[in-house]
């Protein structure tokens, strides 16, 4: 099990991925987001992320530090699969899921209208917004 916590930006950032399997991560208390994936369409096979634990605010942690943090930001391209995600302690101004990584940047030509697949998702103590659509770019979850 790998962990990334209390980073000043993003706990796990995937820039350009294809045929990748990522498994067994704990991501907690990261200021901007716990997990962010930009592009996933380099191969016909999907990028699969499994057995993931996202913690918005850890117990005893500084909630003000991660006060508007996002749990995960999905890719702006096809081919992202989440299987087995536990999401805990997203409160206040935090957001659990945001669509379309970097879609607000008009320099990119590939933005929005993609499918992200989730299975076996559980939440606990999530009182914040669950989904935020990035600049009108909606996805199919």
In the chain, the number of structural domains is 1
Residues with Cβ < 8 Å from 53, sequence gap 6 or more?
25, 26, 27, 28, 85, 86, 88
Structural domain includes residue 140: no
pLDDT in tens, 9-49: 899 999 889 899 999 999 998 888 999 998 887 788 999 99
Looking at residue 141, its pLDDT comes to 58
Structural domain includes residue 124: yes
Structural domain includes residue 92: yes
CA atoms within 13 A on the CB side of 110: 12
Give the residue numbers spanning the domain of 124: 2-132
Tokens of 89: 């302690």
Angle at 99 between CA 2 and CA 131, to 5 degrees: 90
Considering the chain, what percentage of its residues have pLDDT values greater than 90?
33
Lowest mean pLDDT, pick from 15-29, 66-80, 105-119: 105-119
Tokens of 41: 């369409």
Q: Which tops the pLDDT comparison, 104 or 137? A: 104
pTM recorded for the entire structure? 0.83
Looking at residue 48, its pLDDT comes to 95
């Amino acid at each position: 099990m790998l962990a990334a916590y209390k980073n000043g930006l993003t706990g796990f950032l995937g820039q350009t991925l294809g045929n990748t399997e990522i498994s067994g991560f704990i991501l907690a208390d990261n200021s901007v987001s716990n997990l962010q994936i930009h592009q996933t369409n380099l191969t016909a096979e999907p990028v699969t992320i499994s057995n993931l634990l996202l913690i918005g605010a850890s117990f005893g942690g500084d909630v003000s530090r991660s006060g508007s943090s996002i749990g995960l930001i999905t890719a702006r391209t096809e081919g992202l699969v989440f299987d087995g995600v536990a999401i805990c302690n997203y409160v206040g101004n935090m957001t659990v899921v945001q669509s379309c990584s970097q879609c607000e940047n008009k320099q990119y030509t590939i933005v929005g209208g993609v499918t992200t697949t989730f299975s076996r998702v559980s939440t606990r103590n999530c009182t914040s917004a669950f989904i935020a659509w990035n600049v009108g770019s909606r996805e199919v979850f």
